[in-house]
Structure 1
Amino acid sequence: MTKSITTKELAKRIVNREKMLLLDVRNKDEFDNWKIEGDSVEIINEPYFNLLDGVDAIADKINKDQEVIVVCAKGGSSKMVRDLMEEEGFTNVYDLEGGMKSWSEHLEPIKIKDLNDGGALYQFVRLGKGCLSYMVVSNEKAAVIDANRMTNIYEKFAEKKNVSIEYTVDTHLHADHISGSRQLAENSGATYLFPPKDAEEVMFDYTPLQEGNDLAVGKTTIEVQPIYSPGHTFGSTSLIIDDKYLLTGDILFVKSIGRPDLAGKAEEWVGYLHETLYSRYKELSKDLIVLPAHYSFVEELGEDGSVQARLGDLYERNSSLRVEDEQGFRKMVTENLPLQPNEHDNIRQTNMGKMNPEEEKQREMETGPNRCAVHG
């Protein structure tokens, strides 16, 4: 009987809100910076070095017959702690395969809805980073929006659905994770679309993603309609799919809004952010379903594990959309900026095509939580 659990198994359990106990054996600073979260998750942090001479430090915190999943950075220390605990009489101990390194890279595909004429829209939830990406499927064709760098996951999913990837799209120049959209386009022969106002320094060819240029996927009535929506970046461009779904990129989240400072232009871009949220989006149908590119809090996950909300409801309950005047909005945004994402400048340089780090370095650059949002 295996005594390990995969990231896929853990993700399913978190989405299903199954109660579980995790023992994270990383150092306290690593744990405090970034950890596995979920409505049903109880987690204990006890650094590995405290357990080398025995498990006394956790003996009064965990029953010996209680299920516990041990988590470390890369999957090695957790196996050793699991073995130590079993030697001490703990009977139901598992380790997480690949540790936080693998957890960071897991994508959980969730069907959002069937679309017109047999199409479908899927959300890929990256539980370990709070990243959200999307696939529109129609008539044996697909478009992938805001792909993460683990391109094989989208390729395998498209193969499973018997569709070919026709387009890949980035809604903006990402700064918290490395985009896989260009690589996915290269692998699949797809057309890569990118907002030209974010492309001043890029080192690659792209097809402009611009307002007014609808993008048809397959041979159905599904249309991906871009709308220019600056603020998180100068080129940020949202997508309206099937007249029902608003993909907001990193402009608007369920419980927060995008931050305008990752290119060092907070004072300049906060005005664009206000215009997008308080003018452009307000002109759209309140019945559009917002599908963002990130989430910050585990409570943003719905019962099915997806992240979505009606636009009109967000204007009622998202406090960042209810600031009375623009000056107050500017103050709220600029005074609530969180820590910047790990290596965000190098990630931006990589996404511009100016750097090409080795795969292991890319993993290191992405370590840590999502920090794309401002919380009012």
Structure 2
Amino acid sequence: MPDRTFLSWPFFEPRHRELAGALDQWCAAHLPVDHHDTDAACRTLVRDLGAAGWLQPTGAAEGETLDVRTLCLIRETLARHDPLADFAFAMQGLGMGAVSLFGTPAQRGWLAKTRAGEAIAAFALTEPASGSDVAGTATTARRVRGGYLLNGEKTWISNGGIADLYVLFARTGEAPGAKGLSAFLLPASTPGLSVVERLETIAPHPLARLRLDDLHLPDDALIGAPGEGFRIAMSVLDVFRSTVGAAALGMARCALDESVARVKARTIQGAPLGDLQMVQGHIADMALDIDAAALLVYRAAWTKDMGAPRVTREAAMAKLHATEAASRVIDAAVQLHGGDGVRRGSVVEALYRDIRALRIYEGASDVQRVVIARGALQ
């Protein structure tokens, strides 16, 4: 039985506690799904999450804000039951984050579809030569009569190849570096967009490399104003970076639950494995890492929900500590399971592969350290 005492912390309101309980029941009945066909699994997850209403928090009504505590609770719960379900949920939010925060009424019309699970969203920022260095974006959007002409390449795009629409960032050239980027809403059916490579990773997800060849977008595809792309991207990441920590937290809780069950049931020299002080030390370290991560994640989420314009430092701390701590917790879980811990198909073996990418995407761990250090030095 997972620890739920954290829900009594003052970060949460009664509605958050009710949501966590209801979602946990839904997950127990519907997850995990069959992962053998990753694309099909993600389509099923988006459809089912949407039909059940769990995607509603991934978009905000006009004039409202995203509830980051709700996003974190949902990601934590889904990740504890099925990390691929967390991925499917997260991309609906991240993919449409720019539209929720900066979209026009017409652009926001897409939110009805993505929140209902009727359209799959994606966030196209990363390029072959610019991952964490967003200012190094090379894809261009040249102003032409009636719109923009886009050329370039994006890579490591989650939901690439199955998405119905992308929020894509390109250089419009208002100024050098970060100040010359703009954000666009790009339907996947637009001529000139092609999926040139599907990317395989240790934990299967729908990922792709995209190419834009003289792709024309009308003026109303622009999100926000020209040159605001970097600010839009950072605002979206400011909201969703904490939720990455929440997903890591869910995976870590699952690993701890599996480990506690293991050391209680497994015997060594006639006594439970959990009676060994060395094993108890591992369990204690795991529990400590999890609680510290939870405090950082929900502090960042609460701070944003209380109206802070930016939570760059808090979100960086939450993502850095939670993802690194979850990696330690899951590694310890594999060790406590012995040979079963590396057996293909076991819960902790899958978690060992699932957790690794979270220390890279939406700002790698070392980038978060730079963000935190700059904040301290200022």
TM-score by length of 2: 0.29
Higher strand share: 1
TM-score by length of 1: 0.29
Query: RCO (CA 8 Å, sep 6+): is it higher in 1 or 2?
Result: 2
Higher helix share: 2
